[in-house]
Amino acid sequence: MSLIENLNKIFDSRIRLGIMSALMVNKDVNFNELKELLDITDGNLASHLKTLEESEFVKVQKGFIGRKSNTTYSITKAGEKAFKTHLTALEKMIGTVK
Amino acid sequence: MYFKVLFMGEQQQPLEDLQHIKKMMERSSRFISLSGLSGIAAGICALVGAWFANGVIVDNGGPSGYRELVSKTLEVTSLQDFMGHRLFQIAIYTFIGAFISAFLFTWLRSRKNDVPLWGYTSRRLLINVSVPMIAGGIYLFKQMQFGNYGLIAPGCLIFYGLALVNASKYTLGEVRYLGYCQILLGIVNCWFVGYGLYFWAVGFGLLHIIYGSVMWYKYEWNKTREA
């Protein structure tokens, strides 16, 4: 029972899982880099980022490179903690299922 | 309850989730817009350059005859003479041509993917390529001043190979094997001093073309067809 409780509902989506993975190993990643990484549309990515932002796992920095807007994302302390808990839960599940 | 765990486990596929996480972590920390076509283009430039250089050498009586001629006519210490030298000019044009064409295809690919070419991953890649290349370049430059021309070609291959092995952590991992091949070729070349041009043609030409074709087929061919 506790195994499933530790799995975070927010990370059910592969896309959100991918975003979090990228942010775990990179200080910050911009919108287009995430888009290429996950191979999804702007709208799709934006909505998933919104979900992560609302649960305060991800923070947004808006900036400019020349005249082009550049929005970068980075992971929050809470996000890091939630992701690690989720990872551990996944690992434990594999152990149990085996 | 145990059944439920199994059921949920199958539904959420924890193993696949973990593999997905690993893949995303890896891909996001590497520069993956490096196009296979860049390798092919650079390789072709190298072969064209080698062909011209070979023409110059053959016209002057082959590798050994040519070296004799150079040692008679060229003041080793005078850098200006060297800069004005025909072979050196060919080398420079070849390098510029290879660089521009390699840059072009990677630029096109990164534009297609809508990813800035000058991003975090590409900057890190560039720094890690540059360290062995610059150190090697300075070392070989000194070798040249001392007149050890025979060791320049193998040296270039070895240092370039080292740069690629170092770079492989920050871009497509397969670059590592190209690096190993270049190093090996450079080492073998140390025992065949005087035939540097042929080793260059194989290393910078042939190996680049083979590598580029494999990469293009593996990562870009299918994508182009799907699109």
Chain A neighbours among B 20-79 (CB < 8 Å)? Answer: 20-22, 24-25, 27-29
Does B123 touch chain A if contact means CB atoms closer than 8 Å? no
Question: Mind telling me how many Å the CA of B45 is from chain A's nearest CA?
Answer: 30
Partner-chain residue, chosen from A14, A21, A33, that has the shortest CB–CB distance to B119: A33
Q: Tens digit of pLDDT for each residue in B84-129?
A: 578 888 989 999 999 999 999 999 988 877 666 777 678 889 999 9
Global ipTM: 0.86
pLDDT band at residue B136 using 50, 70 and 90 as cut-offs: very high
Q: Stretch A37-57: mean pLDDT, rounded?
A: 92
Q: Which domains does chain A carry?
A: 2-91 (1.10.10.10)
User: What is the pLDDT at residue B71?
Assistant: 61
Q: Tens digit of pLDDT for each residue in A54-81?
A: 999 999 999 888 888 889 999 999 999 9
Chain B neighbours among A 49-78 (CB < 8 Å)? Answer: 65
Residue A17 neighbours by CB under 8 Å, 6+ apart: A11, B17, B20, B21, B24
User: What is the pLDDT at residue B212?
Assistant: 96
Give the DSSP letter string of chain A. -HHHHHS-GGGGSHHHHHHHHHHHHSS-EEHHHHHHHHT--HHHHHHHHHHHHHTTSEEEEEEEETTEEEEEEEE-HHHHHHHHHHHHHHHHHHHHH-
Write out the two tokens for B110.
């990164």
Q: Do A10 and A55 touch, CB atoms closer than 8 A?
A: yes
pLDDT band at residue B225 using 50, 70 and 90 as cut-offs: low
User: What is the pLDDT at residue B13?
Assistant: 82
Does B17 touch chain A if contact means CB atoms closer than 8 Å? yes
Of the two residues B75 and B178, the one the predictor is more confident about is B178
Of the two residues A69 and B60, the one the predictor is more confident about is A69
User: What is the pLDDT at residue B56?
Assistant: 84
Q: Which residue has the tokens 């096109």?
A: B108
Compute CA distances B209 → A52, B98, B174, whole Å.
Answer: 44, 12, 14
Q: Tens digit of pLDDT for each residue in B11-35?
A: 558 888 998 898 888 778 888 788 9
Answer yes or no: is pLDDT of B1 > 50: no
Q: Do B167 and B129 touch, CB atoms closer than 8 A?
A: yes
SS3 B31: strand
User: What is the pLDDT at residue B224?
Assistant: 61
